A and B are shown apart, each in its own frame.
Chain A
């Protein structure tokens, strides 16, 4: 419980620091939201008027704390750029609320694919690699090498190209989905998920390769550990040693690695969203930065920070579950 309290305090402090840093960055980088909205031709009076409307005439420190107070009250502010109708600007909450689920579902689908494929693949690969390379073990030696090449290739392909490849293969050749036929999650959830599978696959492929490779190496290291010899000396079969003793120990570094991947995926896969035409937060983030839509960017940064810290928190807990040595330090 004490541990949980500490973690929550750390989370809050980090969110403060990151939001302040983002705010500061917006003060420093060149570019003015007013010019970017009105263009360079506007009269100084009009500019001044807009500045007051947006609250930009206050000193930065006041603006920052106004913003923090707003967020704490649940008011995420309004966008500088997107309008709801003729008279009102779009509230950030509404703007993001629409796009966040898309990104989250995409991340979840990608992660499920990564976990379901990479772990069995890594174990299988480690099995191939640990067989001594002589006599009848020819096949496993070949598989080991082949997987090495395949994963290397999967990691090296840039994600936009992988997206195009997946679209081409599954969309155009195999006709498993209609490229560009995105269905909103509110309209038909299952069609939405069916469409999401392919961008998720594009995200997952390089990560699967990395994770499988990582698990393989981790398992091979563990297989050389002394306790493995002890297990054999008791009369364990190779299978029992692998699943009963080695796997859990080998998973420890892999869990950390998976955590890093989740954090990365949840923060938005901008390129993939673009390639598959998904209205997620990745696209929103890019356009908001280029138009100096500060309220939107601040909230997105807060969200990403929160997700990353939260995922690491989960990883920490998982670590304690897997390795009894951790919790006692």
Chain B
């Protein structure tokens, strides 16, 4: 009897069971938010949301919808636990992270409930790896209260347009300033580093610009150290939606196409950098 079936005696014992033919469909998305050691997972019957936060200012969410999995069952929702993301990714890519033609790693994942470890069964070419990852007390995650009704400006870009800009950000600059405006310069990224300032403008009629909906001139600054990790998601994505709301909060939504052509989303929220008091 295959080991995979042997170990999972009764599916009803588990609050979460999922199986996947190609583990890369999961690991790629998780890599896009891997900028902190720990992540919180929420599973509902719609899928799994994995959240990573840093400095109470930035939050990244990866959505792996149930349809990505070949089998996905949640008994009592929501299932919530915290897990070491670094370890999870090491386990998921135990048979190597590069995709080799003809060799897919299959995954069966199950979680019995609060206090139990997350069990992973990975199989490639008849070799099975069983991982038992201890889960931790879920932590409260931030609510950025980012409502689409409060969105002031919204741009959808092809990711390649932003990729170079982000990978070459002047990291000596403390902030990245984003200007979005219905008039010139429409969309501008600025840094203020040791070697001087740099501005990068995207014209509104550029081929890279999929949609441009800016209603108000907004200039916001974000800590560059907080935004830089989003490059991981950017390089994997095909499109990115950049939105700001009336408080200057930034939302970056990345559309990522996996090996099987399915679409997943990764989302970053970031608070604006505090603006110094005018008289100080």
Partners in one complex: no
